[in-house]
Chain A
Amino acid sequence: MADLSVKIHKLELKNPVMTASGTFGNGVEFDDFIDVNALGGILLKGTTLHHREGNDYPRMAETALGMLNAVGLQNKGVDYFCKHIYPIVSKYSTNVIVNVNGSTIEEYIELTQRINELEHIAAIELNISCPNVKEGGMAFGTSCPMAEQVTREVRKVYDKTLIVKLSPNVTNIAEIAKAVEAQGADSVSLVNTFLGMAVNAETRKPVLSTITGGLSGPAIKPIALRMVWQVAQAVKVPVIGMGGIASATDAIEFMLAGASAVQIGTANFNDPQCTIKIIKGIEEYLDRHKLLSASDIIGKLQM
């Protein structure tokens, strides 16, 4: 049996399969369906310093092989997280990672400091790419100077593994990846959702309350794959790939393109057990190709 473990900076993952933030709740919602500890790691839903109600309903539109969401980071804020969610997720033995969001640099810093105190949180994923909030969010991830600044400031107050989550809504994603790497990011994860829109022709109205939203699911896979490949060429830190992954084959494609690990998002909605199936599928693939380790396929695209 092949060795599935991979490393993201100081994080040891027992396999390369993690879950994408905002699609896996706090993990506990999946306890009925799977053994959450069998995953390489879990990304909790986006957390902010203060309570956020999120955007108005409707927040979702189904699209061809995908969906648009405009949740807008609904969460109860970091105090609630520390008091009520952290004790529950601490029971997991797998890597538990918090997705950190802010509308100002100060908010990112303060939230990071709070999370830094939590022993069982193995890493943070700095979300500079949420397309569904008015202030901050994607603005940090679509400008090189702002991405640099927020990474630099957060780096100063965080000593565990710092992952920066990149927005695909940019002209040159490799440039942003290089910029955050230079400021001390230990890893980059990509992609967040693509800014999109849905219209109801009958009512002549936008479907989402926010008019635009973030596109995810198999529809975005080829673009996400291309971006992961470009970023993996550009940086030395490990890359975490995501965007439309729904099968082991999809995951392997991202790893061949240069991802050291993958995150599974929207596919969890269709099949809450898909992550476990993907781990099994990767293992079968490695065995079938007589490879000893999952790291043997990272970036091994044959040109």
Chain B
Amino acid sequence: MKKQVCDLTVINNTRLNHDNYLIELKPSIKLENIQPGQFVNIQVKDSPTTFLRRPFSIHDVNYYNNTFAILVKTVGDGTFKLSKIEKNETLDVVFPLGNGFSEPSKGEKILLIGGGVGIAPMMHMARESKNIGVEVHILLGARSESDHILVNEFSQFGQVHLTTDDGTLGIHGFVTDHDIMSSKWKFDRFYCCGPDPMMHAVAKRAKALKTECEVSLENMMACGFGVCLCCVTKTNEGNKCVCTEGPVFNINDLEWQI
């Protein structure tokens, strides 16, 4: 769909745990063909330190109700202010932005890997992939048991595998320590979003396994639609804007030392 700037109505704001909020939004225009991995850019009002819009992945889309959700982790003033938003308030949003993950083919077996709030784009991805007949596995990594959210929701679309840094839930360690990332599983594709060190580790494993791998980057953005050139990442073809040529990149195109 065309890029829009519009006021979206907050349908729900649900606190999921100590620092994660699920905000459901309803536009007045019809949602069409939102690709998993695309994002929105939100103006945070009445936050004195928040001047630029804040980017958030589209977490899940409900075409039937014409709503979509974002998952917000509170890390600073902007996200803290957003976490306080209430039902029926409006948010000024520019969307949909960026390119999504490439679509897997029917019959393929894929692994979605989310670390921390990087799990955000994976719900829409899991739903859409299952719909087209893809075998979906979801690997979620978090610091501790209390940081794991939405596990039941993910399990509707595929088998969920968990790790925690402290061993309180699932496998003790990082996502790359999980057996699901070993050679015996033979995935067609990895899709990954999370902290940089995690994405690098996953990319390294993908290279070793010769598995196709896409990562979703979270560079600092000023505009979100390709005009400020602030959000660049180095690729084989020079600097590219994460907001318009990403946020999803194939690891083979990035100049990562892996």
Stretch of B49-57, B80-88, B122-130, B162-170 that contacts chain A: B49-57
Structural contact, B52 and A269, CB atoms closer than 8 A:
yes
State the Cβ distance, B92 to closest chain A Cβ, in Å.
8
Number of B residues whose C-beta is below 8 Å from A? 31
The answer, among B4, B94, B228, for a CB contact under 8 Å with A23, is B228
Chain B residues with Cβ below 8 Å from A29 are 225-227, 244
Structural contact, B228 and A64, CB atoms closer than 8 A:
no
A1, CB-defined interface residue at 8 Å: no
Q: Which residues of B contact A (CB under 8 A)?
A: 2-5, 43, 48-53, 94, 219-234, 238-239, 244
Structural contact, A59 and B52, CB atoms closer than 8 A:
no
The answer, among A57, A270, A271, for a CB contact under 8 Å with B219, is A57
Chain A residues with Cβ below 8 Å from B219 are 57
The answer, among A24, A54, A269, A272, for a CB contact under 8 Å with B222, is A269
Pairs across A and B, CB under 8 Å, 30 listed: A22-B229, A23-B227, A25-B227, A30-B227, A32-B3, A33-B4, A33-B5, A54-B232, A57-B231, A57-B232, A57-B234, A58-B220, A58-B230, A59-B230, A59-B232, A60-B221, A60-B222, A60-B230, A64-B51, A65-B51, A66-B51, A67-B52, A71-B229, A74-B229, A74-B239, A268-B223, A269-B222, A269-B223, A269-B227, A272-B94
State the Cβ distance, B252 to closest chain A Cβ, in Å.
20
Structural contact, B43 and A268, CB atoms closer than 8 A:
no
- How many chain A residues sit at the interface, stated as a range, is 20 to 34
The answer, among A60, A62, A63, A271, for a CB contact under 8 Å with B228, is A60
The answer, among B51, B225, B227, for a CB contact under 8 Å with A63, is B51
Residue of B nearest to A272 (CB): B5
A47, CB-defined interface residue at 8 Å: no
The answer, among B2, B220, B223, B228, for a CB contact under 8 Å with A32, is B2
A293, CB-defined interface residue at 8 Å: no
A53, CB-defined interface residue at 8 Å: yes
Structural contact, A69 and B222, CB atoms closer than 8 A:
yes
The answer, among A32, A53, A266, A272, for a CB contact under 8 Å with B239, is A53
State the Cβ distance, B230 to closest chain A Cβ, in Å.
4
Q: Which of B49, B222, B234, B239 has the most CB of A within 10 A?
A: B222
State the Cβ distance, A53 to closest chain B Cβ, in Å.
6
Structural contact, B3 and A62, CB atoms closer than 8 A:
no
State the Cβ distance, A266 to closest chain B Cβ, in Å.
8
Q: Using A57-B233, A74-B239 as known contacts, say yes or no to A268 and B227 having CB atoms under 8 A apart.
A: yes
